[in-house]
């Protein structure tokens, strides 16, 4: 909801009055679900002061998560920096992550890592073809516009076309328009898919534990 | 390669040569005459006297059957004024050989060349170079010096005469400076090595061109060299060929790992020859190549690059883009783990005395390699992502690194982390498939890229998982018991830890009885397949503990020991060389390699 409604931040009184368990649940829920990374950064930023006050294990969990997400996407880093530019510890984390990323990129250029993996190029081609087909299929299914109007696949020519209509007239040249969109692939989902999945599983388990008090806790 | 190493192997090669190139029944003897010929061309001008006819029908020089008059080769400068004459010898220069092997006689004949021959009328100076590719003794040098002092300083009235002596060291210096190129090799291999060098410079390591053109060509070249040479000459020539290829391909950034691969194919070919046709004179060269070249290069490689490899996510970074990359980064990580493991196994194989000569104790070296491996594993999660069942070799090698360094805790941590990640793939909860039993990287890539309805990989049978279970028995009892039950529950049965057990079918565990003489046959491209042993799960319940599972494993070990020939590792071939051959040929390892530690024969079973 935080992401979908583009919430800028949670109201201060709400955050101030939140208990340790509520805050942990919130963090874990955001960890378990795939939240848009800019929104996740805003969420984390608005919790920082309250969690600083609480400290302890919660702060450890919080800052570990921030460090990890900083490594994960550029969107997250940018949004976090914008949302809380004066938080000393967050700034230090961002700076540390920038250094680590620079070191990674530098080291990945090492001659020890320049080998090609047999079959990777072909597989990437297959993957891209399948992705293209899947996207086209999905667009076709979900686009009202494409379902209403006929589609003509032009074979030759570059970015201009004319139509020869049934009445025998040739239209004036029309320009094609291109549109594209891009999105950032979260690094760690690709670098460590199992590790990220394990984190989600662990978050789910912890949420279950926090939501369903044990018999012992009920007794207390 | 260090300059010292280049010098050492060029010395070894030149030392191995005869005076003349000639074919004999036992094989071709390559001669120092070809080296002198190329040095003469590079330094002195055009040849006016050669001891052979170039490019005979078989692609190597054909000897001339004519009187030499002491002159093996002669070169005339471009302006026709300076004549250089080579007197070649393949014997050491000593007081005895001075007369006995015709040093004196040949030099005496060489100082009276026939200058009336066509083209020599402009000569104003003659230099006689006595070149020999063996060592010398003081008395021999003294005899030579006396000869020079007594020799005339002119030929006829006007042509100046002087002398040079190129001993082995000087010959090596001249060779490295002027002809460290394919032309240094016997003429028959010049074209082949030039072509290979060009390919190595152009092709990216691991690319299709590398795999399907360069590697087969390289193996063909190595086989041709070994097939044609006798004694130490083949083992002496191949390092020089490698040095030349490296020199020519140095600008190719992917060649750093490609070079290691080329070295490995040479090592395998040499050990294969040693296993099939033992020859004491060749064996020295083969051992020398293995320790002083291959293992030394691995050590240099990791000493140089461990900083990069141990940088956070440096290998994981290969995975940029998609799951395809995650498979690729795993391949790269396992490539490095395998080589670090070979390094560790080889050092562990040596006697302390041998290692002590290198300035550090064996345990210090083993500990250093374990540190490198730990750094690499801490920095890159790709280490926990094997994709192929055959990568049990690299995993075994990683466990050997910990065992050799006496670090069972590190071994336990690695197994735990590996099981946690493999578990998700075993349950189908990951975007990556479980280990492919067909060991086809192509299939894994296709599976990940296209996610077909019918899987193209085989993930119901696993040698890797059974090996993990057995390897855990090397660990201390507490660690062993926890891991054995964990692996059995999660990977063998594929059951959830709690609640509903899930509907996964148990894995078919696999073991393998290697063929007789595995230690020799492993170097062959084609090896008898041995016998596969299909093993049912050791327990049906996910609650099964080590107490329930271990008796089954022990029984399997005992029965397999009864059924198969005992594993006999060749005494004279390093274990790391056998492992390298398995790694390169992608053949399973004999389970006895770890069972000998986990289930020692003396007690038959590991103690509880």
Residues B185-205 have pLDDT tens digits of 988 898 999 999 999 999 999
- Nearest-5° Cα angle at B442, B437 to B448: 85
Interval B81-88 mean pLDDT: 93
Contacts of B258 in chain A (CB under 8 A): 115
User: B382 contacts in A (CB within 8 Å)?
Assistant: 191
Nearest CA in chain A to B309: A107
Do B477 and B494 form a contact (C-beta atoms < 8 A)? no
Q: How far apart are CA A184 and CA B50, in angstroms?
A: 69
Q: Which residues of B touch A183 (CB under 8 A)?
A: none
Spell B546-563 as b/e; 16+ CB within 10 A means b.
Answer: bebbbebbbebbeebbee
Task: Fill in the DSSP letter of residue B566.
Answer: P
Residue with tokens 């390559």: B30
Task: Give the pLDDT band of residue B603 (cuts 50, 70, 90).
Answer: very low
Going along chain A, which residue ranges are E strands?
160-161, 174-175
Instruction: Give the span between the Cα atoms of B177 and B150, in whole angstroms.
Output: 32
pLDDT in tens, B240-275: 999 999 999 989 999 999 999 999 999 999 999 999
Residue B328, chain A, CB below 8 Å: the answer is yes
Higher pLDDT, B398 or B515: B398
Q: Where are the alpha helices (DSSP H) in A55-119?
A: 56-72, 74-83, 88-108
| Of the candidates B434, B425, A187, the residue with the CA atom closest to the CA atom of residue B444 | B434
The answer to whether residue A182 neighbours chain B at the CB level (below 8 Å) is no
> Degrees (nearest 5) of the Cα angle B212, B217, B218?
110
On whether the CB atoms of residues A114 and B254 are closer than 8 A, the answer is yes
Helix and strand totals (H; E) in chain B: 25, 13
- Say yes or no for a CB contact (<8 Å) between A114 and B257: yes
Q: CB distance from A190 to chain B under 8 Å?
A: yes
The pair of structure tokens assigned to B141 is 């040098």
Interval B348-401: pLDDT, tens: 998 766 665 566 788 999 999 999 999 999 999 999 999 999 999 999 999 999
**Contact status, residue B240 vs residue B289, Cβ threshold 8 Å:** no
Question: Chain A within 8 Å of B319 (Cβ-Cβ)?
Answer: yes
pLDDT at B281: 87
B contacts of A116 (beta carbons < 8 Å): 204-207, 210, 254
Determine which of A72, A102, A106, A112 to mutate to test the interface with B (most B C-beta atoms within 10 Å). A112
Cβ(A16)–Cβ(A50) below 8 Å:
yes
C-alpha to C-alpha distances, B459 to A31, B123, B209, B433, B440, nearest whole angstrom: 31, 79, 30, 8, 12
Instruction: Please state, in angstroms and rounded to a whole number, the distance separating the CA atoms of residues A104 and A109.
Output: 9
B253 at the A interface (CB within 8 A)? yes
Look at A78 and B322; give whichever has higher pLDDT: A78
Q: How far is B586 from chain A (nearest CA, A)?
A: 14
H or E element at residue B373? helix B362-379
Q: Quick one: which H or E segment has residue B28?
A: strand B27-29
Chain B, 68 to 97: residues with Cβ < 8 Å from chain A are none
Say how many Å lie between the first and final Cα of chain A, rounded: 34
Question: B51 Cβ partners below 8 Å, 6+ apart?
Answer: B20, B33, B63, B64, B68, B72, B73
Is B319–A191 a contact, with Cβ atoms under 8 angstroms apart?
yes
- Distance from the Cα of residue B286 to its chain's centroid: 10
Nearest CA in chain B to A100: B312
Lowest mean pLDDT among A170-184, B33-47, B175-189: A170-184
pLDDT surpassing 60 at residue B33 = yes
Q: Are strands B22-24 and B27-29 parallel, antiparallel or unpaired?
A: antiparallel
Q: Distance (Å) from the C-alpha of residue B316 to the closest C-alpha of chain A? A: 5
- List Cβ neighbours of B607 (8 Å cut-off, separation of 6 or more): none
Nearest to B424 among A119, A185, A194 (CB): A194
Q: Chain A contact for B318, CB < 8 A?
A: yes
B421–A194 CB contact, under 8 Å: yes
Tell me if residue B62 falls in helix, strand or coil: strand
Q: Do B432 and A103 touch (CB under 8 A)?
A: no
User: For testing the chain B interface, which of A190, A199, A205, A208 should be mutated: the one with the most B CBs within 10 Å?
Assistant: A190
Query: For residue B430, what are the CA distances in angstroms to A201, B427, B504, B551?
Result: 12, 8, 15, 33
For B522-537, the pLDDT digits (tens) are: 999 887 778 999 999 9
pLDDT of B56 reads: 52
Tell me the shortest Cα–Cα distance from B325 to chain A, in angstroms: 7
Tokens of B453: 């309805």
User: Which positions in chain A touch B210 (Cβ < 8 Å)?
Assistant: 116
Contacts of B442 in chain A (CB under 8 A): 118-119, 122-123
Partner-chain contact B323 A193, CB within 8 Å: yes
Q: Which of A136-140, B22-26, B333-337, B419-423 has the lowest mean pLDDT?
A: B22-26
In chain A, how long is the greatest CA-to-CA distance? 88
pLDDT for the residue A143: 82
Residues of A in contact with B208 (CB under 8 A): 118, 121
Cβ-contact A101, A127 below 8 angstroms: no
Is A127 an interface residue toward B (CB < 8 Å)? yes
Q: How far apart are CA A120 and CA A137, in angstroms?
A: 25
Of B309, B320, B425, the CB nearest to A194: B425
Cβ-defined contact of B314 to A198 (cutoff 8 Å): no
CA distance B341 to B576: 8
- List alpha helices for B179-322, DSSP H: 187-202, 208-209, 215-228, 233-249, 255-276, 280-288, 296-309
Q: Which two tokens stand for residue B30?
A: 């390559």
- CB-based contact, A212 to chain B, within 8 Å: no
> Does the beta carbon of B206 lie under 8 angstroms from any beta carbon of chain A?
yes
The mean pLDDT value of chain B amounts to 90
- Inform me whether the pLDDT recorded for B605 exceeds 50: no
What sign for the dihedral angle of Cα B55, B58, B63, B64?
negative
pLDDT band at B235 (very low <50, low <70, confident <90, very high): very high
Closest CA to A102 of B338, B534, B382, B311: B311
ipTM, interface predicted TM-score of the complex: 0.86
The pTM (predicted TM-score) of the whole model is: 0.90
Q: Which residue has the tokens 């020199």?
A: B247
Give the list of residues 6+ apart from residue A177 with CB closer than 8 angstroms, or none: none
CA nearest to B317 within chain A: A108
φ, ψ at B572 (rounded to 5°): -100, 5
Verify whether the Cβ–Cβ distance B449 to A104 is below 8 Å: no
Q: What is the mean pLDDT of residues B97-126?
A: 89
Instruction: Write out the two tokens for B576.
Output: 């790391």
Please, which residues 428-457 of chain B have a Cβ atom closer than 8 Å to chain A? 429-432, 441-442, 445-446, 448-451
The residue whose two tokens read 């300035």 is: B359
For B314, which of A108, A119, A190 is closest by C-beta distance? A108
User: Among A34, A103, A116, which would you mutate to test the B interface (most chain B Cβ atoms within 10 Å of its Cβ)?
Assistant: A116
CB B139 within 8 A of CB B92: no
Distance CA B170, CA B172 (A): 5
Helices (H), B48-167: 95-100, 103-110, 138-150
Say which of B254, B301, B381 has its CB closest to residue A192. B381
Residue B335 and residue A115: Cβ atoms within 8 Å? yes
A118 touches chain B (CB under 8 A): yes
Test mutation, B308, B309, B448, chain A, max A CBs within 10 A: B308
Residues near B315 by beta carbon (within 8 Å), at least 6 away in sequence: A108, A113, B309, B329, B332, B333, B336, B376, B379, B380, B382, B383
Instruction: Report, as an integer, the average pLDDT of A56-76.
Output: 94
R_g of chain B, CA atoms, integer Å: 30
Quote the pLDDT of residue B257: 96
| Mean pLDDT value of segment B474-496 | 94
Specify the pLDDT at position B583: 96
Q: Report yes or no: B547 at the A interface, CB cutoff 8 Å.
A: no
d(CA B434, CA B386): 9
Rounded distance between C-alpha atoms, residue B87 and residue B32, angstroms: 11
| Predicted confidence band of residue B59 (pLDDT cuts 50, 70, 90) | low
Q: Which residues pair with B27 in a beta bridge?
A: B24
Give the pLDDT confidence score for residue B66 in this predicted structure: 59
Return d(Cα B432, Cα B589) in angstroms, integer: 25
Structure tokens, A115 = 């080998």
Residues of A in contact with B317 (CB under 8 A): 104-105, 107-108, 113, 191
Q: Which residues of B touch A104 (CB under 8 A)?
A: 311-314, 317
Q: How far apart are CA B58 and CA B561, in angstroms?
A: 51
Chain A contact set for B309 (CB, 8 A): 107, 110, 112-113
Could A119 and B314 be called an inter-chain contact, meaning their C-beta atoms sit closer than 8 Å?
no
Asked if the Cβ–Cβ distance from A112 to B335 is below 8 Å, we say no
Comparing B557 with B157, the larger pLDDT belongs to B557
Strand order in the sheet with B531-535: B461-462, B508-513, B531-535
CA A17 – CA A174 distance, rounded (Å): 61
Give B-chain residues touching A126 at CB under 8 angstroms.
445-446, 449-450
CA A32 – CA A202 distance, rounded (Å): 9
Q: Is the Cβ–Cβ distance between B537 and B493 less than 8 Å? A: yes
Dist CA B193 CA B185 (whole Å): 8
> How far, in Å, CA of B512 to CA of B529, rounded?
9
Rounded Cα distance between B75 and B85, Å, is 7
Are B52 and B20 in contact, with CB atoms under 8 Å apart? yes
- Which has the closest alpha carbon to B579: B416, B399, B378, B411? B399
Which chain B residue lies closest to A186 (C-alpha atoms)?
B321
DSSP state, residue B93: B
Flag whether pLDDT at A49 surpasses 60.
yes
Decide if A146 touches B, using CB distance below 8 A.
no
State the pLDDT at residue B63: 64
What secondary structure does DSSP assign to B199-238, as a single string?
Answer: HHHHSPTTSHHIIIIIHHHHHHHHHHHHHHB-TTHHHHHH
CB B73 within 8 A of CB B32: no
């Amino acid at each position: 909801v935080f992401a979908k409604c583009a919430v800028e931040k949670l109201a201060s009184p709400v955050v101030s009055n939140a208990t340790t368990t509520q805050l942990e649940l919130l963090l874990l829920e955001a960890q378990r679900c795939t939240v848009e990374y800019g929104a996740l950064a805003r969420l984390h930023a608005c919790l920082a002061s309250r969690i600083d006050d609480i400290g302890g294990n919660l702060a450890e969990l919080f800052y570990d998560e921030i460090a990890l997400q900083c490594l994960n996407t550029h969107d997250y880093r940018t949004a976090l920096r914008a949302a809380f530019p004066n938080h000393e510890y967050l700034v230090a984390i961002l700076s540390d992550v920038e250094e680590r990323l620079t070191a990674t990129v530098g080291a990945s250029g090492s001659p020890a890592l320049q080998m090609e993996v047999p079959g990777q190029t072909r597989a990437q081609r297959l993957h891209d073809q399948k992705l293209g087909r899947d996207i086209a299929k999905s667009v076709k299914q979900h686009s009202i516009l494409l379902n209403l109007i006929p589609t003509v696949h032009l074979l030759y020519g570059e970015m201009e076309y004319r139509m020869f209509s049934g009445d025998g007239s040739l239209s004036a040249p029309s320009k094609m328009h291109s549109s594209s969109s891009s999105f950032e692939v979260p690094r760690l989902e690709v670098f460590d898919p199992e590790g990220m999945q394990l984190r989600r599983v662990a978050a789910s388990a912890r949420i279950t534990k926090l939501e369903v008090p044990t018999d012992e806790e009920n007794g207390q | 390669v260090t300059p010292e190493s280049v010098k050492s192997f060029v010395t070894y090669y030149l030392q191995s040569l005869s005076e003349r190139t000639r074919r004999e029944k036992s094989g071709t003897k390559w001669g120092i005459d070809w080296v002198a010929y190329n040095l003469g061309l590079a330094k002195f001008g055009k040849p006016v006297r050669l001891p052979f006819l170039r490019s005979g029908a078989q692609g190597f020089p054909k000897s001339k059957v004519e009187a030499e008059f002491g002159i093996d080769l002669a070169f005339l400068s471009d302006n026709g004024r300076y004549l250089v004459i080579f007197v070649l010898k393949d014997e050491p220069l000593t007081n005895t050989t001075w007369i006995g092997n015709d040093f004196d006689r040949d030099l005496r004949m060489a100082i009276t060349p026939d200058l009336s021959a066509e083209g020599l009328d402009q000569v104003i100076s003659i230099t006689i170079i006595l070149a020999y590719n063996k060592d010398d003794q003081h008395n021999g040098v003294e005899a030579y010096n006396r000869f020079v002092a007594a020799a005339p300083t002119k030929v006829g009235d006007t042509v100046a005469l002087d002398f040079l002596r190129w001993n082995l060291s000087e010959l090596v210096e001249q060779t490295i400076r002027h002809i460290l190129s394919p032309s240094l090799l016997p003429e028959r291999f010049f074209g082949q090595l030039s072509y290979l060098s060009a390919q190595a410079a152009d092709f990216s390591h691991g690319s299709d061109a590398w795999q399907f053109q360069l590697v087969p060509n390289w193996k063909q070249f190595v086989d041709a060299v070994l097939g044609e040479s006798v004694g130490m000459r083949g083992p002496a020539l191949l390092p020089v060929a490698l040095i030349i290829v490296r020199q020519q391909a140095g600008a190719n950034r992917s060649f750093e790992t490609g070079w290691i691969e080329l070295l490995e194919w040479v090592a395998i070919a040499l050990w294969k020859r040693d296993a099939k046709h033992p020859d004491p004179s060749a064996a020295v060269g083969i051992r020398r190549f293995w320790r002083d070249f291959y293992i030394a290069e691995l050590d240099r490689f990791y000493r140089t690059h461990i900083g990069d490899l141990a940088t956070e996510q440096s290998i994981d970074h290969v995975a940029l883009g998609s799951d395809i990359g995650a498979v690729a980064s795993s391949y790269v990580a396992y490539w490095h783990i395998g080589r670090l493991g070979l390094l560790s196994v080889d050092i562990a194989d040596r006697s302390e005395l041998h290692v002590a000569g290198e300035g550090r104790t064996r345990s210090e070296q083993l500990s250093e390699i374990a540190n490198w491996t730990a750094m690499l594993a801490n920095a890159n999660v790709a280490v926990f992502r094997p994709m192929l069942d055959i990568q049990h070799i690299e995993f075994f090698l990683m466990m050997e690194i910990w065992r050799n360094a006496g670090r069972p805790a590190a071994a336990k941590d690695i197994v735990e982390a590996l099981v946690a990640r493999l578990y998700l793939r075993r349950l189908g909860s990951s975007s990556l498939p479980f280990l492919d039993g067909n060991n086809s990287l192509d299939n894994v890539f296709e599976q990940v890229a296209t996610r077909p309805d019918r899987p193209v990989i085989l993930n119901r049978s696993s040698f890797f998982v059974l090996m993990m279970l057995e390897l855990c028995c090397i660990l201390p009892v507490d660690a062993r018991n926890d891991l054995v039950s964990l692996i059995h529950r999660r990977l063998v049965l594929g059951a959830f830890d709690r609640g509903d057990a899930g509907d996964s079918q148990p894995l078919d565990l696999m073991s393998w009885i290697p063929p007789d003489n595995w230690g020799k046959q492993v170097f062959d491209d084609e090896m008898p397949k041995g016998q596969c042993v299909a093993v049912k799960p050791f327990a049906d319940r996910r609650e099964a503990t080590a107490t329930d599972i271990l008796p089954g494993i022990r029984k399997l070990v005992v029965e397999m020991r009864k059924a198969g020939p005992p594993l006999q590792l060749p005494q004279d071939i390093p274990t790391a060389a056998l492992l390298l051959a398995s790694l390169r040929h992608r053949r399973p390892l004999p389970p006895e390699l770890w069972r000998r530690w986990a289930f020692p024969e003396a007690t038959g079973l590991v103690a509880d």
